[in-house]
Amino acid sequence: MDKVSLGAIITDGGNSKKNKTGSWATKRAFIDQKKCIKCHTCVLFCPEDCINIKENGKDVEVDADYCKGCLVCVNECPVKAISVTIQS
């Protein structure tokens, strides 16, 4: 059993930061800063916790290393400031 790889098994809660989930994404979120009203709703809804609030406490950015392209944030943004980019 020791020789069997654990694969994609989640062994403990909140461990997604150990895996770069963005590496296999075919889509990714892109935030239009001109449309964004800095409400931070997307930060709360992102299941990967990969939308970060910048040091100024207002602007948000997507960490491409962890964005898996689920597009939850696109649906939740109240002003449609988030769009989808396709990864090649």
List contacts with ligand SF4 (CB under 6 A): 29, 31, 36-42, 46, 48, 50-51, 60, 62, 67-73, 77, 79, 81-82
Which residue, 28, 40, 34, 18, is CA-closest to 83? Answer: 28
Structural tokens at position 10: 């989640």
- Considering the complex, state which of residue 10 and residue 37 has its C-beta at the smaller distance from ligand SF4: 37
33 Cβ partners below 8 Å, 6+ apart?
A: 59, 81
Q: How far is the CB of 56 from ligand SF4 (least distance, A)?
A: 13
- Considering the complex, state which of residue 4 and residue 8 has its C-beta at the smaller distance from ligand SF4: 8
